[in-house]
Structure 1
Amino acid sequence: MVPPPGLSHTLGFVCKLKKALYGLKQAPRAWFEKFSTVVSSLGFTSSHHDSTLFFRCTSAGHIILLLYVDDMIITGDDIDGIASLKLELACRFEMKDSGTLSYFLGIEVASSPRGYLISQSKYTMDVIERARLTNNKSADTPLESNARYSSSDGVPLTDPTLYRTIVGCLVYLTITRPDIAYGVHIVSQFVSAPTTVHWAAVVRILRYLRGTCFQSLLFPSTSSLVLRAYSDADWASDPIDRKSTTGFCVFLGDSLISWKSKKQTVVSCSSTEAEYRAMGSTTTEIVWLRWLLADMGVSHSSPTPMYCDNTSAIQISHNSVFHERTKHIKIDCHLVRHHLQTGTISLSFVSSSLQLADFFTKSHPVHRFRFLRDKLSLLLALAS
C-alpha cells in the first residue's frame, strides 16, 4: 500500500514486528488482538472494511497504518506523528525499523515529484529464472490473439509441480501487473491437470514479462480523488462450459487501484445477462472502495461513474419492471439498481473501442493490447 494519491508530502516507512510479545510465542489471533489494543490506545481506529488497516486523523495530518502478518507500513503526511508512533511501538514491541518504504514483500516502491511507481522487477526475474527458460525470446503480448484453451488440449504433464509453482508466482505478480491479469486468469484454470499446451501458454506469459520486466504502475502525485470504473464481459467465452468472463477496473483519479479478470460462476443466456453480472461485481467493488476511502478521510458525495458498452444492460438497471429476460439475474438487478437509486453509482455508455475493462476479458492483437495498456497508467521500460 502506498499513500493515497492526492495527499501531499506523504512518506511511507516499513517496520518489522516480532511476534514474540514479551518473550512469549502467541497464536496469530492473540498477536493481532494485542497489536490492535496497543494501536487503539494510541488513538488509531480500525477500519470496518479491512481489519489490517488502522488510521488516525488529526489537525496535524493523517497517519495510515497497514499490518501484514509481522510486516507493517506506516504512511501519511504527519511527519512528527509518524516519528512519535514508531517510538511508541518500539517501546511496546520488539521492532525493526526498515526505513523509508522502497521494498515490501517483493514489491518495489519508488517516489519522485511525478508520483509513486510500484513494480515487481526483481520478483519477475526470480520467477523467470525459476521456470528455467532455455532461450531469451520475448513476446509482444501475454497470450496469442483470440486464444482459447480447454482441459483436453495437449498431453498431460508428467510432473505438474513446476507449472503450479510458476502459476502461483504469476498470481502474485498481478498485484502490480494488470497487463497479465487475463492471461494468468486463463492458465490458473488448469493447475489441477495441466498439459503441454497450458505450459506453452505459461511460457509465453513469462516471455512477455521478460521483455517488460521493468514495467511500473504509476500513482500520479497530482491525481484527483474521484473514483471511476469500467465494467465489461466476454459472453460465453469458455469453449467447454460456455461461461462468460467478467472484467473490471477502477481508477482513483488517474491511478489504477483495482482490477479483476474472472470467469462467472453460472452460464449467462445472453450477452446482456453476462454484462449485467459483470456490473454487479463492479458495483460491489465500488461500494467497498468508497467505504475504505471514507475510513481514510476521502469521502465521495457524488455518484461513482461506471462505464459499460452494453446499452441493454444499462436500460435494465433503469427499468423498475423485471421482464422474462432478467429473471435469472434478479439479485444483480436489485444490487445495481439499489446503488443507482441511492446515488452510489451512475451508469454511462462508453464505446467498445474505449472500454478499458475489455483488457481483462480477452486476449488482443498487439496494437489493441498496447493501446489499452497505455491507458492503465503503466510505464514501460524495456529490459536490457
Structure 2
Amino acid sequence: FASVVTAAGFSPNAHDPALFVHLSARGRTLLLLYVDDMIITGDDSEYIAFVKARLNEQFLMSDLGPLCYFLGIVVSSTSDGFSISQEKYIQDILARAALSDERTPMELNVNLRASDGELLSDPTRYRHLVGSLVYLAVTRPDISYPVHILSQFVSAPTSVHYSHLHVLRYLRGTISHRLFFPRSSSLQLQAYSDATWASDPSDRCSLSAYCAFLGGSLISWKTKKQTAVSRSSAEAELRAMALLTAEVTWLRWLLEDFGVSVTTPTTLLFDSTGAIDIARDPMKHELTKHIGVDASYVRAAMQDHVIALQYVPSELQLADFFTKARTRAHHRFHLSKLSVVDPP
C-alpha cells in the first residue's frame, strides 16, 4: 500500500510512520493509515479525488464519506466544534455486567500491591477488560489514572485487583461523555506536567503525568510510572518534565507537518519551583548528577526556544488529575477543564 501511496505523490512522514503528506500549489493533503483503514483530509480537493481513484484501481475500497467513524471512535461535528467518543465500545464492555453507577472512576487513597488477595484461577476476563479499557482511554482521559493502575497487574491479577474495577461502574454512569474540540480554539500549544513522589507502595517509584493542549483542545495526555526511584520530589518532577519535553518536541514537529507554524516556545506549566530551578540553572546540575541527562535535555530545549518553563499553583495544575484519584467535586472541575463533556 505504501508504494501505491508514494507513487501517487505522497511522502512518508518522518515523525509518524502512519502519516503521509502531499504538498501542491493548491494546499496540503494528509493521509493517515491504520492497516486497511484510512483518513484522507486536506485543502486540495482535486488531489484527494485523484488519490481515491488511484487507490480504487489497486484495491477493493469503500468511500465512507465525511469522517464520522474510525477504529471504533465516533467523530461528531457541530457548529461549535468536533467531539470524539466510544459510547458503543463502552456498551460492548458493559454488556455482560450488571453494575450500579459511580461518580468517580477510582476510590480515594487506594494502594494496590501485586501480593494483595488470591490469584484468579482464570485471569482471562480481567485481562480482557483492562485491555479494552486501555483502548477506551484513547478518548476518555478521565480514566487514564485508574487504567494505569489496573494494567500493572494483568500478568497475575488477584481477587483484590478484580474488585477494584470500579472504573466500569463509573463508565456505566458516564457512558455519553466525549472529548470536545472547539472550533474557536487557537493553535497555540501549551502543556502541564506533574509527578507524585514515591507513590508506588511496592518499589517507591514515582508517577509522571502530563497533558497538552492546542488552544482549548486536549490533544495528548499520559500517565507513566518512572523507571527509577527519585530521591526527592524535585527529582521526580524533573523526570516528568523531561518526559513532557520529549512529547512537546514531537507535537511541534507534527504541527509543522500539518502546516501549523510553531515559532514561539511552548509554555510548560509546573507546580515545582525546585524542578524549574534545576532545569534553568546549570550550576545545580552538580547536585543532581544522577538525573543530569534529564536536566540537560530540558535545559537544551529551553536554550533552543522549544519550551518555556512557567510555574502554576498546585490547585491549577491540570496534570495532577492524571496522578491520583479525586473527590467528586475535584473530578467534575477537571472534566470541565479537559473538555470532557456530555452531548448537548
Return the TM-score normalized by structure 2: 0.97
8 Å CA contact retained: 2:285, 2:292 = no
The 10-residue stretch of structure 1 (207-216 or 71-80) with the greater mean CA deviation from structure 2? 71-80
Where does residue 325 of structure 2 map in the other structure?
A: 363
Question: Is 2:67 the counterpart of 1:101?
Answer: yes
1:100 Cα deviation after fit: 2.0
Please name the residue that 1:133 is paired with. Answer: 97
Tell me, what secondary structure is at the counterpart of 1:54?
strand
Matched position secondary structure for 1:219: strand
Equivalent residue, structure 1, for 2:6 = 40
| TM-aligned CA deviation for residue 326 of structure 1 | 1.2
- Taking the TM superposition and a 5 Å limit, the aligned residue runs for 1:58-97 are 58-97=24-63
Matched, 1:285 2:247: yes
Q: Secondary structure at the match of 2:155?
A: coil
How many angstroms apart in 1 are the aligned matches of 2:260 and 2:282?
Answer: 32
Structure 2 CA distance, aligned partners of 1:229 and 1:218?
17
CA distance in 2, matches of 1:235, 1:122: 37
Map of 1:335 onto structure 2: 297
After superposition, the C-alpha distances for 1:73-97 in whole angstroms (9 at most, x for unaligned) are 1112333332222112212322222
Identify which of 158, 165, 171 aligns with 2:121. Answer: 158
Aligned residue identity for 2:163: A
Q: CA deviation at 1:242?
A: 0.5
Larger mean CA deviation between 87-96 and 228-237 belongs to 87-96
1:229 counterpart residue number: 191
CA distance in 1, matches of 2:181, 2:307: 23
Q: What's the RMSD between the two structures over aligned residues?
A: 1.4
Secondary structure of the 2:180 match is strand
| Mapped partners of 1:173, 1:276: distance in 2 | 29
Unmatched 5+ stretches in structure 1: 1-34
Q: Is the 8 A contact 2:335 2:341 kept in 1?
A: no
**Corresponding residue to 1:148 among 87, 111, 132:** 111
Amino acid at match of 1:140: R
Structure 2 segments unaligned to the other structure (5+ residues) = none
1:323, distance to aligned residue in structure 2 (A): 4.4
Structure-2 separation of matches of 1:224 and 1:58: 25
Paired residues of 2:278 and 2:285 also in contact (CA < 8 A): no
Deviation sequence 1:232-268 (CA, Å, 0-9, x none)? 0000111111100000001111111100001100100
Q: CA deviation at 1:210?
A: 0.6
Distance (whole Å) between structure 2 residues aligned to residue 361 and residue 115 of structure 1 = 29
Establish whether residue 374 from structure 1 lines up as the match of residue 340 from structure 2: no
| Contact map agreement 1:243 1:264 (CA 8 A) in 2 | yes
The two structures have a TM-score, normalised by structure 1, of 0.87
Aligned-pair distance for 1:298?
1.3
Deviation of 1:294 after TM superposition, in Å, equals: 1.1
Identity %: 53
Q: 2: distance between equivalents of 1:77 and 1:323?
A: 48
| Helix, strand or coil at the partner of 2:283 | coil
